[in-house]
Every structure is written in C-alpha cells, then in structure tokens.
Amino acid sequence: MLKKNIEDICNRQIEREGYSSNLYIAMASWAEINGYSGVAAWLYVQSDEERIHMLKFIKYINERGGKAVMPALKKPSAEYKSVVLTKLWRLPWMKKTLIRIIFYNGL
C-alpha cells in the first residue's frame, strides 16, 4: 500500500508533468504557425516525453494501491514574441520541476 503523503506528492507531480506537456504543445503550435517547423517538431517530442513522465507517475500510484488523480491543468500562454524567448521561457519551469523531483526523492 502506498503511503498517503507519497501518493499526494506523486499526484502533484502528475499535475506538473501534465502542465509541462501542455506548455510544450502550446509553444510547438506557436512555432509551427510562425514558420519554425524544426523547433515545433522538437517541442512536440518534448511534450510527448512529459506525457510519458505523467503516465509513469499514474501507473506508479495505481500499481501500489493508491489513486492517481488527473487535475484540471492551467492553460499555458499561446503567444510568444520569438522562438528564442519560447526556448528561454521554459527553462525556469523545468528547473523548478527537477528541483521538486530531487527534493521529494531525497536525491
């Protein structure tokens, strides 16, 4: 049986991974519309990776007798000023996500 505090932490991470996936999709769509097809392709792949991370947390919780919860996700921005800003904008979010994972796992 999964401890409740671990389940809660993992469910919060599901939300973060889902938001990250949506953020990458929003940036990819913007890049695609603005003629940056190569950047868009890379961002779509990143979105898929975040979705896979989310699914791993869902399976982890459910396989240990917990209950994975899919929360409503915050809507990411759909407008960016340049492809460079699109790439730079995501870095703080990724740093926060990695720090949370390391902190929660005691690494």
- What CATH number has the domain bearing residue 9? 1.20.1260.10
- Structure-block tokens of residue 66: 């917990």
Model confidence pLDDT, tens digit, residues 44-80: 998 999 999 999 999 999 999 999 999 898 887 777 7
Residue with tokens 């779509």: 44
- Burial environment of residue 12 by CB neighbours within 10 A (0 to 12, 13 to 18, 19 or more): middle
Can you give the residue range of the structural domain that contains 88? 4-105
Model confidence pLDDT, tens digit, residues 25-49: 998 898 899 998 888 888 899 899 9
| Whole-number CA gyration radius for the chain | 15
| The model's pTM | 0.75
**Domain count across the chain:** 1
